[in-house]
Amino acid sequence: MSVRAVKYELEAKLIGESSGHFSKPSGKVERKSYSDGTERLKISVRNLKALKQSTAIIKVDSQEIAQLSLIKGSGRLDDESKDPTALPT
């Protein structure tokens, strides 16, 4: 097992109001840069009002950074790469 130091970490949270039969929608985006040059992007959303199988488009400053497949209003993305340009900023 190797140990990696986190150089920086950015985090954003989605908080919404209750809608219909779903409780409050929520989500989290994490971006980490490690000392070994690896970059990691994790996105999770849940309780979104959506069809049984839908896609959520994740945007930052009006620019699409990811698409998540949703099942019952929830979806996850966990991507890691040694190429810093492979993951959206």
Q: 5: closest CA among 50, 47, 35?
A: 35
pLDDT higher than threshold 60 for residue 59: yes
Question: Which secondary structure element, helix H or strand E, spans residue 76, and what is its range?
Answer: strand 75-81
**pLDDT band (50, 70, 90) for residue 23:** low
Amino acid, res. 9: E
pTM of the full structure: 0.76
